Structure 1
Amino acid sequence: MKHVNRFYLLLVLIVQICFSSCKENEDVPASNDCELLSFSVAGNLNGLEKNLNFTYDGETKTFSSMYLKWIDRDEPEMMIPNFETNGAKVLVNGNEVVSGKTKLSFADDFIMTVVAESGIKNEYKISLNCPQINRELAVLHFKPEVEITSKDDYVDTEIQLYDKTPGSTGEGWWNSDEQGTVEMRGRGNSTWILPKKPFRIKFPKKFSPIGLNHAKEKSWTLLAQDMDKSLIRTHIAFEYSKILYNPSESYHHEKAVLFTPASKYVNVYITGYYTDASTGVRSYKDGEYLGVYQMSDQVEQAPGRIEVEDLEASDGADPTKITGGYVIETDLHEGTHYSALKRIKMSYKYPKDDDCDPAQYEYITKFINEAERVLYSENFKDPVNGWRKYFDEKTLADFIIIKEFVGDLDGYTSTYMYKRRGVDKLFFGPIWDCDKGWDNDKRVPHPEHAPLESLMIYAGFWMPEYVNYDWFQRLWEDETLRQFVADRWASKKAELQAVTEKVLEETPVKMGKAIEANFEVWPFYYQFSDEAKMPAETYTKELERIKELSEKRAALLDKLLK
């Protein structure tokens, strides 16, 4: 009996203890703590040269960091983060993650959810600006065997070119480990001496790089846009070209080549020697970020580009071939041919010097000289036997509209023209190189014609310096051309304005991280060039300035084109 009583007393004691414990737990509510206290990525754990400490912005609840070195490993976007929290657990896409153990993709910004003991949640955005892995733009990493120092001599170069942007198909990728080296050299005139240098790439076979599938050719360009702090002036001009030189309109001459160069933005890295023109310092860059570049066509005679007829030295003076095709550029920098009357300096881009019979250059020179003679004759306005006999009016009008709308002081000094076989006209195009447009040129070549208040035909540079009365000014004396241009402008003005606003609105969204990274390497509020103007105080204000200038320029053209 005593044993039974002892057991009973022990049972009562156990029940009392359990009841007391439960009551204490009822008195302590579950914690509501759910803060992400810190976030970082350890370098040694993730193949990085340094630790990444993320900065917290309380207003946007964002942890952010930037890393601009090349990550040389498979799946560089996959990293293991370290973080501290006072919550019960942390989730990403509904899955629990553990500090120092769980691997996550940093290709896109992601949300980290901290869950408290009570079940309430707190969300934080994690944002890593790493151009190599971010999916905003395609990526090019080039490794020249020696430093690229010349615009004439190519350098054998290994490259990695890929595009992981949403919707990309994997076409146009290039890996030199599998597909072989390419050749690269410098390019440009005034742009080649700038700190951020432009380049030309030549693939070993005809190839269409990522997103540029309208042509398969060996040569492509990388435009640095170092003078244009918006990075998009030439891109906008190309958008104008697509509207005006539009094959689907069936508006132009049936033999017109309505070619607009491609425009694809890429994040570029370099492993190799590079000389900074602003300081003269030569240094070895091991996978360093070189900035945002605009990849585009090489302007040349080729299928999908300026597709005039083939003409080779072996064709000689064959009368069935000698009338075309030809590609000509008025060229202040490197031109070697001159028109007879006004001594306009030109380069014959096609056929090339090393594959041309002398009779062919003699033919096109004679044709240009005759066109110029008629242009400056008394009856040059005659609709049949005047200048229209030798110059195509529709491509000329579209060329004028674009150069005037962007306000390009250099617009008429570098003009591409071409001649088709069997067609006795010079056609104008394509549009190229508008980085000095939108009031980005501090030179005033003719003080009597203020650039922001005048047509570039008068305010811009003439070709060459000693020519004080050039082709475009002479053409503009024809009131019927002025009316033709005014009517074409009126019919396309709304489309041109709409695409301007579209590009200005979309650019900061589509490539915001890349833009930020570019100006981390190349300071935004800085101009090495003694020709280009300083930009607005910030990138956002620079885009606003372009928008305002476009609106003012459109209103001005309404008055001046007639």
Structure 2
Amino acid sequence: MKQWLVFLVATLALLLVGCEVETAWSAHEEEFNRIRELLPQQYSTNLSLPESSREDVFVVYSIDGVMVEDNRLLYTNPDVDTTIELTLSITHANQVRQYTIDIIEVSEANRDLNVVFDIIFDTIDAKIPSRVTANLAVPQVYSVDADIDYLIDCTDIVRNRIVYTFPDQNETCSLTAIVTYDGVTRMQVFTVTMSGISSLPQIPTVYITTENNDDIWSKDIYTKATMSVDYHGMYDGDAITNAGIQIRLRGNSTMFMPKRPYKIKFDEKTAFFADYKEYDWTLLSNHADQSLVRNASAFWMADQLGMAFVPNYTFVDVYINDEYQGNYLVSDHVEVTNDRVDIEEHSANIDTGYLIEYDYKIFDYPEGTYNSFLVDNIPFSLKSPDWDEDVYSNAQKTYIDNYMTNLLDTLQNQEDYSDLIDEASFIDWFIVNEIFKNVDVGYSSVYYYKDAGEKLKMGPVWDFDLSSGVPGYLHERGPTGWYTPNWNKNRFFHYLMQYPEFQSALKERWNEVKDTAIDGVLDQIFVFADHMTYSRHKNFLLYSVIGNEDEWWTAPEILAIDTYDGQLWFLYDYLETRIAWLDTEINNFD
């Protein structure tokens, strides 16, 4: 019994000693791991070494057996990068343990490189958003002449844009930046969080409920309804809640496409995504345009050019009787008002305000359907003055008919047109329509207006869904070649382009706005698309047309593209090529 007690006491003593040693070594390891995390891999200036974090732990640094004084590693400016073996002597509970860490003392040349790479990587880091909610252009660094390539592990990078993949949940991705500067290549990995689809921002939503859930079936007869708008924090506008409206179909060929466009008439003047109030508005469907952004992009360009009236361009989601209809563009109705085409109206004078449309559609209707006239067989419809007004007279139609006839005769004869047209407005209208190669420039939606006592002007621009390579029925749909000034398209511009003074003015204006309004539209395409990522996703779930819709309006080049991103890049490439072609041709004018 006595021997057993002696053995037990001895065993307990050994265990206690072992615990003390293990505790000491644990403290050493913790302190070393802490210091190792704090020390940089390299240094290019004097470096203060970490102090001990505990009163009962002592740390001494040395290099080749020589203690580092004041825990300060002095930078010696070596000719080449030098690896320093730093020894740490850590003491705790009278137990000393040594560790080594390799740290690089950077040469002066590489020190300058480090500064440059730090700038580059810091700039990249600052440009990466906390969440990716749309396709994202990879960060570019313009302050340093470096080559930067990227790799990402969760999606593709197509033409320097990270492709958003609509994950169900947030997805963490690693974005690797590979930077080459002055012959040196370094890499850094950044964390990118791709937002789950349910947390994507939403564009404003328009809810329309028809009376008795009636169908909207006519272009001529309105259906009574109410409208409410949820801005989703994306637009700071007046509240629209159960507003009384009337709604009908609009458009011509577009009216028979799967996604139909609408005309809205509010019971009271309403600011419908605008800073002015009007009764009449439109919901453009953009069905034939599988990028959805052609109309908005053309309107944006006109806005940048400073045209007198530019139609509104706000993307919304539309529900009718609780059924999703798709992505639409809220826009104006082309008419004479103080906030739209601002000219004199409601006057019995002959020289009053006039709004007319170059409009071959009138031949599709019985004679007398539209108030119209012909100028050398070119059909025009008279929008204002309105022939239903008491002040209207046939003498007013005769006046504007004679004015347009005189203009065409003047241009045909190459006579002075300066007293007849506002050349600047004609040039801006021409720039937008010719860049987009708008199929309608010699058919319809070509507006002219003239105020009392003033010259004839052009505008607003309108109707670009069948433009820039979309129309399959158009043989000359490619991005090169003149379009608007062809004799069989728009004869007014056909003759204007034969004037050296018009060519000179066009050249001057083109070069004035080339770097801003013209080239800027290329980036604006993606601004519009990225703004409505969730909406366009829903739209093409409802209308599975991309790569599938083989209709009369779909060019083979459009049909061959089976992704939305591909449709955007088609538009980008088309406009880029067309702008370059026009730039060469216009600057070749004498």
> Which interval holds the TM-score relative to the shorter structure?
0.5 to 0.7
Q: Determine the structure 2 residue equivalent to 1:346.
A: 380
Q: Where does 1:120-199 land on structure 2 (aligned, <5 Å)?
A: 127-129=196-198, 135-145=201-211, 146-166=214-234, 168-169=235-236, 171-176=237-242, 179=243, 181-199=244-262
Inter-partner Cα distance in structure 1 for 2:479 and 2:264? 37
Q: Determine the structure 1 residue equivalent to 2:350.
A: 322
Inter-partner Cα distance in structure 1 for 2:387 and 2:401? 14
Gaps of 5+ in 2: 1-152, 156-163, 173-190, 364-369
Q: Determine the structure 1 residue equivalent to 2:499.
A: 478
CA 1:268 to 1:372, structure 2 compared with 1: closer, same or farther past 3 Å?
same
Gaps of 5+ in 1: 1-57, 66-108, 113-121, 247-257, 272-286, 316-320, 464-469
TM-score by length of 2: 0.62
Structure 2 counterpart of 1:481, one-letter code: F
Alpha-carbon contact 2:248-2:263 (below 8 Å) kept: yes
How far the C-alpha of 1:135 sits from its partner, in A, is: 3.9
CA 1:527 to 1:347, structure 2 compared with 1: closer, same or farther past 3 Å?
farther
Inter-partner Cα distance in structure 2 for 1:186 and 1:511? 24
Q: Determine the structure 2 residue equivalent to 1:276.
A: none
Q: Where does 1:397-546 land on structure 2 (aligned, <5 Å)?
A: 397-414=427-444, 415-423=446-454, 425-444=455-474, 451-458=478-485, 462=489, 470-523=491-544, 524-527=546-549, 529-533=551-555, 534-535=558-559, 536-546=561-571
Q: Where does 1:92-103 land on structure 2 (aligned, <5 Å)?
A: none
CA 1:518 to 1:487, structure 2 compared with 1: closer, same or farther past 3 Å?
same
Cα distance per residue 1:499-557 (max 9 Å; x no partner): 22332232343211111110000112233641232353211111112221122111111
Structure 2 counterpart of 1:333, one-letter code: K
Name the SS of the counterpart of 2:388 in structure 1: helix
How far the C-alpha of 1:339 sits from its partner, in A, is: 5.6
Alpha-carbon contact 2:375-2:401 (below 8 Å) kept: no
How far the C-alpha of 1:230 sits from its partner, in A, is: 0.4
Inter-partner Cα distance in structure 2 for 1:126 and 1:340? 57
Alpha-carbon contact 2:470-2:477 (below 8 Å) kept: no
TM-score by length of 1: 0.65
CA 1:450 to 1:298, structure 2 compared with 1: closer, same or farther past 3 Å?
closer
Inter-partner Cα distance in structure 2 for 1:63 and 1:455? 41
Name the SS of the counterpart of 1:174 in structure 2: coil
Q: Tell which deviates more after alignment, 364-373 or 258-267.
A: 364-373
Name the SS of the counterpart of 2:208 in structure 1: strand
Q: Does 1:368 align with 2:368?
A: no
How far the C-alpha of 1:559 sits from its partner, in A, is: 2.7
Structure 2 counterpart of 1:531, one-letter code: W
Q: Determine the structure 1 residue equivalent to 2:329.
A: 294
CA 1:549 to 1:328, structure 2 compared with 1: closer, same or farther past 3 Å?
same
Alpha-carbon contact 2:371-2:387 (below 8 Å) kept: no
Name the SS of the counterpart of 2:360 in structure 1: coil
Q: Determine the structure 2 residue equivalent to 1:116.
A: none
Inter-partner Cα distance in structure 2 for 1:477 and 1:339? 26
Name the SS of the counterpart of 1:361 in structure 2: helix
Inter-partner Cα distance in structure 2 for 1:417 and 1:332? 15
Alpha-carbon contact 2:372-2:382 (below 8 Å) kept: no
Alpha-carbon contact 1:330-1:347 (below 8 Å) kept: yes
Q: CA RMSD in A?
A: 3.0
Structure 2 counterpart of 1:294, one-letter code: L
Name the SS of the counterpart of 2:263 in structure 1: strand
CA 1:461 to 1:192, structure 2 compared with 1: closer, same or farther past 3 Å?
farther
How far the C-alpha of 1:388 sits from its partner, in A, is: 2.5
Q: Determine the structure 2 residue equivalent to 1:29.
A: none
Name the SS of the counterpart of 2:315 in structure 1: strand
Inter-partner Cα distance in structure 1 for 2:192 and 2:571? 37
Alpha-carbon contact 2:264-2:281 (below 8 Å) kept: yes
Structure possessing the higher radius of gyration over alpha carbons: 2
Q: Tell which deviates more after alignment, 355-364 or 287-296.
A: 355-364
How far the C-alpha of 1:442 sits from its partner, in A, is: 2.0
How far the C-alpha of 1:438 sits from its partner, in A, is: 1.7
Inter-partner Cα distance in structure 1 for 2:298 and 2:529? 18
Name the SS of the counterpart of 1:157 in structure 2: strand
How far the C-alpha of 1:126 sits from its partner, in A, is: 6.6
Q: Determine the structure 1 residue equivalent to 2:311.
A: 261
How far the C-alpha of 1:123 sits from its partner, in A, is: 12
Q: Structure 2 residue aligned with 1:208, among 250, 271, 292?
A: 271
Name the SS of the counterpart of 1:195 in structure 2: coil
Alpha-carbon contact 1:194-1:529 (below 8 Å) kept: no
Report how many aligned residue pairs link the two structures.
397
Q: Determine the structure 2 residue equivalent to 1:304.
A: 339
Alpha-carbon contact 1:337-1:345 (below 8 Å) kept: no
Inter-partner Cα distance in structure 1 for 2:378 and 2:334? 21
How far the C-alpha of 1:270 sits from its partner, in A, is: 1.7
Inter-partner Cα distance in structure 2 for 1:442 and 1:361? 37
Structure 1 counterpart of 2:437, one-letter code: G
How far the C-alpha of 1:368 sits from its partner, in A, is: 1.8
Alpha-carbon contact 1:63-1:124 (below 8 Å) kept: no
Q: Where does 1:64-79 land on structure 2 (aligned, <5 Å)?
A: 64-65=167-168
CA 1:205 to 1:338, structure 2 compared with 1: closer, same or farther past 3 Å?
closer
Inter-partner Cα distance in structure 1 for 2:196 and 2:583? 46
Name the SS of the counterpart of 1:295 in structure 2: strand
Q: Does 1:392 align with 2:422?
A: yes
Structure 2 counterpart of 1:218, one-letter code: Y
Inter-partner Cα distance in structure 1 for 2:554 and 2:489? 18
Inter-partner Cα distance in structure 2 for 1:174 and 1:262? 18
Inter-partner Cα distance in structure 1 for 2:550 and 2:219? 20
